[in-house]
Structures are given as structure tokens and as C-alpha cells.
Amino acid sequence: MVRSQYLPTGLLVVLASVSAAPAFAHTGDGLSGGFIGGFGHPFFGLDHVAAMVAVGLWGAFLGPPAIWLLPIVFPLVMASGGVLGILGVPLPGVEIGIAASAIVLGLMVALAVRPPLAIAAVLVGAFAIFHGYSHGAELPPGADAVAFSVGFVVATGLLHLAGISFGLLARWPAGRIAVRAAGGAIALAGVVFLSAAV
């Protein structure tokens, strides 16, 4: 009998096939699927990403205590908006509100607007409701609720952190220009989002 040169490869393919786990329709099932699904959720919408980064940018631009207060306020208020979305409570103009958040927050950074902290917190909180509502309404019913929510909130926080990290460049003159330019770019992107929403 002549031993085939393809035998090892064939055996490898058979073993790999036999050991493969079944694929499921709802990737949200289970801890890893739920967390990864939730973690990826905020990244799927550029409008969400732009607004989250703008929150961090503005917080860093305003300095303490806004730098940490806004990222603390945002998830809590966003969760309240998420509750409305999950329960199906009607909220008009959600997409417009999300696009407006990118425009307004981007402009705040671009124009270096420094309102009182309470006004900044209320503004960010108001937009957080729209973002939370949108995410809440889109939560897949088959997902592991806890893992999905944790992943989703952590991703949102990391986007804020990305904005804060970039916003810290505002300590230097050249960095300040770069941060304000980023704010302008976010505001322009918001205009595009708004034109798509209306």
C-alpha cells in the first residue's frame, strides 16, 4: 500500500471539522457573545462614536471637575434613556437628537465654549437620553442582558476616555488647535448625520 502524501492534511481537516462548535443564530447568547455584542454596539454607529468622543473632548477642554463629571453623568443619564427605549416609550426625534449632539458638542469644543458646569452637565445629559434611547431600543432580545449591558457601557466609557485622552493635548498651544479642529470635524460630521436623519 502506498501512503498518500495528502493523508496528514486530510486528517487535519477532518479533526478540525469534528472539533468545531456549532454556530448559533443569536450571537448574544452566553457571556462572551453578550459582552462582545454589547461592546461592539456603540462602535457600529459613527454618530454615536462622534458624540461620545466629543463628550470626552469637551470634558478635557473644560478641565476639572468637568473632565470627570461629564463621563460620570453621561452613563447614568444614558441608562435612563435606555430604559425608555427598552420599554418602548415613544420619544420623537431620536435620530435628530443624536445628530444634534454631535453638532452642538463638536461646536462647543471648536468654539472653546466654557459654560457653567451645571449647564454643561444638563446639555450632555439631555443628549445622553437620545443616545441611550437608541441603544435601548436596539438591544437584541436574545442577548445575555448583564454581559451585553456591561459591554455596552464599558465601550461608551472607553470612547469618552479616548476623547479625554485626545482632549488633554489642549494643555499645549498646538494641541489646543488640534482639539478644536477635532471638535469642528465632529460638528461637520454631525451635519452629515442630520441631513441623513431628516
* C-beta of 61 vs 152, nearer to another protein: 152
Cα(135)–Cα(98) distance, integer angstroms: 11
Measured from the CB atom, the residue of 17 and 195 that comes closer to another protein is: 17
Bin 29: left if φ > 0, else alpha if -120 < ψ < 50, else beta: beta
Q: Tell me which residue of 123, 129, 185, 158 sits closest to 42, measured CA to CA.
A: 158
Judge whether 28 and 142 are in contact, CB under 8 Å: yes
Q: Pick from 52, 53, 55, 78: which binds another protein (CB under 8 A)?
A: 78
Q: Compute the least distance from the CB of residue 114 to another protein, in Å.
A: 20
Q: Which of 51, 53, 79, 124 binds another protein (CB under 8 A)?
A: 79
**Residue 1 CB, nearest approach to another protein (Å):** 18
Decide whether 73 or 123 has the Cβ nearer to another protein. Answer: 73
Site for another protein (CB under 8 A): which residue of 2, 3, 4, 16? Answer: 16
The CA distance from 73 to 88, in Å, is 23
